Amino acid sequence: MKLLDNVRVLDMTNVLSGPFCTLHLALLGADVIKVEVPGSGDLARRLGNVPDLNKQLMGTSFLAQNSNKKSLTLNLKTEEGKEIFRKLLKTADVLVENFRPGVLTRLGFSWEELQNINPKLVYCAISGFGQSGPDAKKPAYDQIIQGLSGSMDVNGDPRLHPLRAGFPVCDTVGGLNAAFAVMAALFYRERTGEGQCIDIALLDSIMPLMGWVAANLLIGGKNPVPMGNDNFTAAPSGAFKTKDGNINIAANQQKQWEDLCDVLGVPELKTDPRFQERDTRKANRYDLTPLLEVKLKENTTTYWVEALNAKGIPSGDILGLYDALTSDQIKHRETIANVNEPEIGDLKLFNLSAKFSKTPASIDSPPPRLSANTEEILTELGLSKDEIKELKDKAVI
């Protein structure tokens, strides 16, 4: 049994935030049907660094987050397409979309109409700024939200500031927030029998992740200072140079700091008035770092990682992406799974990161080719082969 067995999700989303939400539902066993535009489908099908896959409408950006889903093409601008969608809605538990606010209403499927069709439906709308407010109608991509949320203001260092995160963090977190909200709404429905509407904004979703930084400003009255790889909450805590590269060290507790001094062979720093206590170390971090790096440069990153971890001082190498993705720990955790796509071959894709003891998640099917399941789904809805052929001839599907 899967956690979301017999839960049907209609996925009208594109690119990243929405598909990332529905990916989590699909990995948990939901029957996720991507409702896509005939001929083109999800824009992410044409995004990625492998031109041949883009031409096949199977771009790497699409492959990354559409495992375990089905693809149905449907032109919702036609009356026939709308009628099929109404039939689908009656069979659905969840509808997720990430259009600009108002698009679904203009197609004839306002929240009120969705409720009339299926009172138990959980409807989740994901957008840059939410369904209301002065910015609701504005277009938004991840980088725009990074800038408006303040997250670019807390990244970088004095030389490179502001600085965006190296991956679309706002889209991704928005998708996670939506998946969490959908699960909560399904739980509420189990208790009450009632569906509801969920309004997810990427801007809302990312800002609570900066809770500590925001609290320092809203409560403590202190603006963030761009500190690069240093951790503002403690010192020494950040990235340091070694003989052959770099190392992350997080000596955030007093005992860890004192043990660090002993391991590095600089016990005198423990009684240096600049570094004795946490707050003074933070204030004098730029004096402290070169004193530590003189010692760290005497040996390799691997040596120091083993020596420091053995004393309970959190530390680690700073890996390149390939080494991180293929590390022994990631293999052990089965964070990445293999799935075969008949025309492409084996694909390495992320599995669900949560480990359930009774209902483990798994990748059971590769991301679908555009319209791969249209005939199957329409047949299930009761349409005949002749009716399906007629719909194809009219470009409804």
Residues acting as catalytic residues: 171
Distance CA(350)–CA(335), nearest Å, equals 6
Distance CA(243)–CA(120), nearest Å, equals 62
70: burial class by Cβ within 10 Å (0-12, 13-18, 19+)?
Answer: buried
Phi, psi of 110 (to 5 degrees): -65, 170
3-state SS of the chain: helix, strand, coil percent to 5? 40, 15, 45
Q: Is the peptide bond before 368 cis (omega within 30 degrees of 0)?
A: no
Whether the CA torsion 103, 109, 115, 118 is positive or negative: it is: negative
3 state SS of 363: coil
Show the DSSP H helices in the chain as ranges. 17-27, 51-55, 60-63, 79-91, 103-106, 111-117, 142-149, 169-192, 202-206, 211-218, 254-264, 278-283, 285-296, 301-310, 321-325, 328-333, 374-380, 385-393
Map tokens 């009356």 to a residue. Answer: 79
3 state SS of 13: coil
312: left (phi over 0), alpha (psi -120 to 50) or beta: left
